[in-house]
Amino acid sequence: MENKKNIKELITAYLDNELKSQEELNDFMREIEKDPSFEFDLKTEALTKKLINKKAVNRVTPDKIKRNIREKISREQIIRVRKNPLISKIYSPKFISYSTVGIIILALLLLLINRPKQTLNNISEQTGNNNMLVLAQSYFKNFLNGDNKIQFTSDNPEEIKNFFQDKGVKYVTFVPTYNNYSLAGALVSEHHGEKFAHHIYTAKNGKIIYIFQVHENYFQGDSIIQLSEDLLNYLRNGNKYISRQSNFVTVLRKQNDNVLAFISNSTDKELPDNF
């Protein structure tokens, strides 16, 4: 009985081309010829294998998924390059010897250990056309003037995230919800060839919250968007940077890998605490 079971399993191996040696094959053939009842087992198992192989439905990956995969990979590629612009060169032995790398690391460590403690008061002024704070406030003003318009209307955070992805934003976005404010929609801006995510909330009293978010890697290497290093460190330590103008307030903070700029024309003094 046990032998019969073994032979039946050898049928499986035979059909899968897994009887590797001629000796194994010859032994198997001899057993099969001895007992004609194995013919049924051989034929039904071969048929089952053929049915699965030839007739089980195989689907083609949907185009949207193929596109998403390629986008995610190229995004990952960009993040890698931005994250390690120096490292990728250092890895090449042509450039710098190991000892030089060691010195650089040591210098960076010393800089890190001896850096002054950062507080909100001594953060340098944010200036320049590529500065995120400057850009965020400019986008906000343009939105209020009607120069920047909502490109996609939805009150669903997931749909907004998908919109960002479909429009070429190469980072994972954060779309929260707020009491008394409804999600109105989103827009994507282009800056030096890269796409950036913006979305807007409105309240019944006409006040708005505008969020502009940028992946942290955009601040590294040959940065397209900038923030002063002291401010970036301040945010990386989990702090919020609040800047009040006469008619609006701007809050910068980090959320996962993104730096978010929240801007609102609300007079609610507590609103920044909710960002």
Partner 1 sequence: MSDEQKQIYADFEAEAIPHMDSLYNFALRMTGDTDDANDLIQETYLKSFRFFDKFEKGTNCKAWMFRIMKNTYINSYRKQVKEPDKVDYEEIENFYENIKSSWTDTSHLEKDLYDNLLDDEISEAVNSLPEDFRTVILLCDIEGFSYEEIADFVDCPIGTVRSRLHRARKILFTKLYKYAEGKGYLSARR
Residues in the site for partner 1, rule: CB under 8 A? 8-9, 11-13, 16, 18, 37, 39-41, 43-45, 47-53, 55-62, 65-66, 68-69, 72-73, 76-77, 80-81, 88-89, 91-92
For residues 20 and 51, is the Cβ–Cβ distance under 8 A?
no
**Is residue 199 a contact partner of residue 163, using CB atoms and an 8 Å limit?**
no
The Cα 27–Cα 6 span in angstroms is 12
Shorter beta-carbon distance to partner 1: residue 81 or 184: 81
232 close to 115: Cβ distance less than 8 angstroms = no
| Rounded alpha-carbon distances, angstroms, from residue 73 to 1, 67, 107 | 55, 10, 34
Is residue 263 within 8 A of residue 210, CB to CB? The reply is yes
- Do residues 48 and 12 lie in contact, with contact meaning Cβ atoms separated by under 8 Å? no
Return the residue matching tokens 């507080």: 119
Report d(CA 226, CA 133) in Å as an integer. Answer: 9
Instruction: Outline where the chain has alpha helix (H).
Output: 2-15, 22-34, 38-55, 63-83, 85-90, 98-114, 132-145, 157-166, 229-236, 271-274
* Length of the chain as a residue count: 275
Nearer Cβ to partner 1 (79/186): 79
What is the nearest approach in angstroms of partner 1 to the Cβ of residue 88?
4
Tell me how far the alpha carbon of residue 76 is from its chain's centroid.
Answer: 7
The residue assigned the tokens 């048929």 is 47
Element (H, E) at 212: strand 208-215
